[in-house]
Structure 1
């Protein structure tokens, strides 16, 4: 280890130059790594809901959809807005009741099964179908473009809208709380360390390791926004101890090598490596364990954090000692007595009365375990989002105006007979919480053959291999009620089509 330490000390200037140069490709990698804002995409690819999502996107050309609530707008203005939305890139089609019937038909003549889906007082509902998946950059761009077209009377709900808001919120918040973490670290280290300047070099070396870590994520192609949000602060927290250990070792070794800071640092690097390698390996092992989760968000987070710890250790024994040696005089000039008192009496008390602390923690363990077992876990992805987000307001409007909280998509074999599809629709409509089912048969009614369906409408619901139905539900995503509803609908579907698939946010969240 001492040979390695001597090499670092000897090459400290080249090490710093190389470290700064490496920031350039790291920054390029960071800026070009795609961020995935949809955690449902990390579900196993072999489960039915994910297979259905792929079929929907690849074979049907419909990767996502949003329900749009319009309040207090005249029909002619809605038609104009609908035409504008249809021209937005990546919008496959827009379904409103003028897609099915001419708007000149008096409302009282519109079949109730159609009217109740699209109308409620002065509110109307339209479904926007997108060509790409719900969390793709193209879909998020389309959502933002539709918001520019729409005004304050229009509310865009659904998973794609929520993912778009999550992206905007995350991009806005991450720099802020990273800055807060840095400021708090500087404050605490300034009080607890014996130099006001050394915390700056701690954070600089760790910051460079964080940039290297985020930059090398380009190898993975994309990372989750959860990983991106956690990586910087978590890496800072996990690897800070290594920097403190190096500094304390260096201060101790300077007493053994008076006036020879280079030898002191060489030995300090060796001792730091000996101590932190074991600690860092166990930390890396903990993060690697996440990689074995079938929910592959664990793989995403595990790789990034394991890589971050390794880069943090390398930075601690190369970049940080080089900085300390180069700026040793400035660090010495800002030295001060630690402002936090020593805890010698407390430490002696713990050693002397160790059995008391053992009993205390054993007693605390019981209520802690009870609390753990009784802590509810929520899977509704919008539960932690601010209520003033556009997508959350839209979801509230959907519930308030149409008593609708989620929408499922059902894929059926196109060769299924119209009679069987109508029977299936009747059974699904009878399931608790199902508000309505929208598809070719439900639009035409059981007495009209599917061949009479207009070609434009047929292309929306049928691609020749699969027929798509939209199921409107009163139940919230991730609730016990909607999970039971999905299970009941699946049972009905399998009676008519063994390969039929129920997909959408609620079924995916149920799998989550």
Structure 2
């Protein structure tokens, strides 16, 4: 370790130059990493609904579909618009009712339940299918080109809202980082004793963030959620690493005449402390990889990688920058204005038993509230109403009563009579609004010869035929999920290989998988963190105490939406607990490590806890404030509820964890001191000071 520390101080200019050169491929990687805006693609590939999507994409060449709503256009103009849409790259097929009835036949000649679903007042519908998947770049480009064809048309569907999400995320992501940096800068100016050190510190973290985000290129793609929160989370989680090294450097400068020797001592102590504490954070993030929903691995790997890059730069680049800029640091030094928290320490030491009772009392409503916090799964529910895709979907719902369309894929050779019998049975299911199939069209007098090639190909590819279902229930609601279950059962009674596909069925699978993931990922993170703490602290009881304390903080955080009457996006419900545990357990580790150190030296429990609080409360306060600052601004700024909710909950969680560690953890250490010293390594033959 001494050789490494000496190499860093000696080669500081080389480290700075190499780091700057490595920014070139990092920037290239950042801008060339594909961003995935469709969370449905993270469902396991062996799920039946995903197989249905593959059939639509590979066999029907209908990777995605949209419904175009026209305003104040006659039949001739609509058919002309269809020709223009067909010319757009990636568009596969286009069809409307006017491909069947032409210019002259009044639409009123069709059955009422059909006519009302294709024309309402001056609005008409055109169905468009695309060759590529919902979130494919070519599909999104095609949706934008269709929007640009006419001012009086709207494009609905998942691809349209995915495009809206992409455009909004791209416009906001840089602002996230700027807001986080400004707020962290304010905190660091207060917390540190030099105006210039925060600049170096944030610059160092900025390099680590670019290394991390640039290396995502090798992952192939990341989700827009990962792109949005990874940088601010990395900033919030790894800032205290640099603060720790700087404080150690300032201390050793008073003990050593040579500042390079002082830095070597600071690096050595930082490596021992930071590598140990960062392991729990990495374990917490990697626990997300246990999710069946691959979004967990997407976030977990990127964030774990970010912590690793943060550790590397804090023991290489940051010391180099501090040594080179030491004269500037000295010139810009100022009086430390951070409070000493003496009143807080005295309060905790005096009333620790009352604090413990309050902790036990608060555990009940915290647990009750978090267990009843509701999540929503509709991916468009958290998007602003002003977005064109959202407006188009709302118009389909409000004007045409088309709320949740989905499909049934059955054998192409199924007899029309059998198909009609199945459809009639499905129509009796509660909440079914409309059904549409080729057999139904035939029975209404519309023969195959009347249909255009595009319409025929949309319905039947020679292997499968499509039956369209329109439900009255919204996507991801309990009512629709129950309906889909019933429809699926009916369809399979007629064709064992039938598949119910589309957005509604996909989101039903998302709900069931997410419920399991929530339990699995929390269990995995707790076990991983417990094992690491047991090894780091060399104790059995202390990891239990610390995990319980942080889990209490997590319960308090996730209970807030329930008591406020809010729902949270399902992704937030899954990842918040794991991220908060991994990111803030370090606060408790910092305090308990010092407690163990002093306690093993022979001091009694009161002096040990007092010393531990004196040594750690300021650091915990600054670390939590940095985490809060890095996330709260993004939470309030973002118009996407998926991002906003995650960041607001993380910022709130940082403060709750801070309060818990500063007040509750010392009380637990005092109350369970005897258990701790009898279940921890290094206390044999302890003789306490009188």
- Normalising by structure 2, report the TM-score: 0.72
Contact 1:100–1:443 at 8 Å: present in 2 too? no
Distance (Å, rounded) in 2 between the aligned partners of 1:108 and 1:199: 71
Name the residue aligned to 1:357. 355
Distance (Å, rounded) in 2 between the aligned partners of 1:318 and 1:129: 53
Name the residue aligned to 2:441. 443
Name the residue aligned to 2:14. 14
Name the residue aligned to 2:131. 131
1:362-401 matches, cutoff 5 A: 362-401=360-399
Distance (Å, rounded) in 1 between the aligned partners of 2:222 and 2:96: 36
- Secondary structure of the residue aligned to 1:377 is strand
Extract unaligned runs of 5+ from structure 2.
Answer: 511-690
Deviations 1:432-474 (A, max 9, x none): 2222223322322267776886544322211111112222222
Distance (Å, rounded) in 1 between the aligned partners of 2:290 and 2:163: 29
- Secondary structure of the residue aligned to 1:468 is strand
Question: What is the Cα deviation at residue 362 of structure 1?
Answer: 2.0
Deviations 1:167-207 (A, max 9, x none): 00111111112111000000111011101111111111111
Name the residue aligned to 1:79. 79
Distance (Å, rounded) in 2 between the aligned partners of 1:129 and 1:251: 65
1:329-340 matches, cutoff 5 A: 329-340=327-338
Contact 1:90–1:131 at 8 Å: present in 2 too? yes
Aligned match for 1:462, one of 454, 460, 463: 460
Runs of 4+ in 1 over 6 A off after TM superposition: 446-449
Deviates more, 1:403-412 or 1:306-315: 403-412
Quick one: structure 1 residues 509 and 456, their matched pair in 2 at CA, closer, same or farther if it must change by over 3 Å? closer
Name the residue aligned to 1:191. 190
Distance (Å, rounded) in 2 between the aligned partners of 1:119 and 1:427: 26
- Secondary structure of the residue aligned to 1:89 is coil
Size of the alignment, in residue pairs? 510
Quick one: structure 1 residues 243 and 30, their matched pair in 2 at CA, closer, same or farther if it must change by over 3 Å? same
Q: Please tell me whether residue 60 in structure 1 is matched to residue 52 in structure 2.
A: no
- Secondary structure of the residue aligned to 2:290 is coil
Distance (Å, rounded) in 1 between the aligned partners of 2:284 and 2:499: 37
Contact 2:211–2:309 at 8 Å: present in 1 too? yes
Name the residue aligned to 1:112. 112
Question: What is the Cα deviation at residue 43 of structure 1?
Answer: 0.8
Deviates more, 1:100-109 or 1:124-133: 100-109
Name the residue aligned to 1:263. 261
Distance (Å, rounded) in 2 between the aligned partners of 1:125 and 1:75: 11
Deviates more, 1:406-415 or 1:438-447: 438-447
Let me know the Cα RMSD of the aligned residues: 1.6
Question: What is the Cα deviation at residue 148 of structure 1?
Answer: 0.4
Distance (Å, rounded) in 1 between the aligned partners of 2:241 and 2:220: 30
Q: Please tell me whether residue 159 in structure 1 is matched to residue 158 in structure 2.
A: yes
Distance (Å, rounded) in 2 between the aligned partners of 1:506 and 1:28: 38
Contact 1:419–1:446 at 8 Å: present in 2 too? no
Name the residue aligned to 1:434. 432
Question: What is the Cα deviation at residue 93 of structure 1?
Answer: 1.2
Name the residue aligned to 1:232. 231
Distance (Å, rounded) in 2 between the aligned partners of 1:511 and 1:39: 12
Name the residue aligned to 2:585. none
Deviates more, 1:353-362 or 1:168-177: 353-362
Distance (Å, rounded) in 2 between the aligned partners of 1:347 and 1:123: 69
Q: Please tell me whether residue 92 in structure 1 is matched to residue 92 in structure 2.
A: yes
Distance (Å, rounded) in 1 between the aligned partners of 2:356 and 2:289: 34
Distance (Å, rounded) in 2 between the aligned partners of 1:146 and 1:454: 21
- Secondary structure of the residue aligned to 1:291 is helix
Deviates more, 1:377-386 or 1:310-319: 377-386
Distance (Å, rounded) in 2 between the aligned partners of 1:71 and 1:453: 24
Distance (Å, rounded) in 1 between the aligned partners of 2:193 and 2:454: 75
Name the residue aligned to 1:5. 5
Quick one: structure 1 residues 166 and 126, their matched pair in 2 at CA, closer, same or farther if it must change by over 3 Å? same
Q: Please tell me whether residue 168 in structure 1 is matched to residue 167 in structure 2.
A: yes
Distance (Å, rounded) in 1 between the aligned partners of 2:202 and 2:245: 14
- Secondary structure of the residue aligned to 2:339 is coil
Contact 1:133–1:139 at 8 Å: present in 2 too? yes
Name the residue aligned to 2:420. 422
Q: Please tell me whether residue 181 in structure 1 is matched to residue 180 in structure 2.
A: yes
Deviates more, 1:196-205 or 1:408-417: 408-417
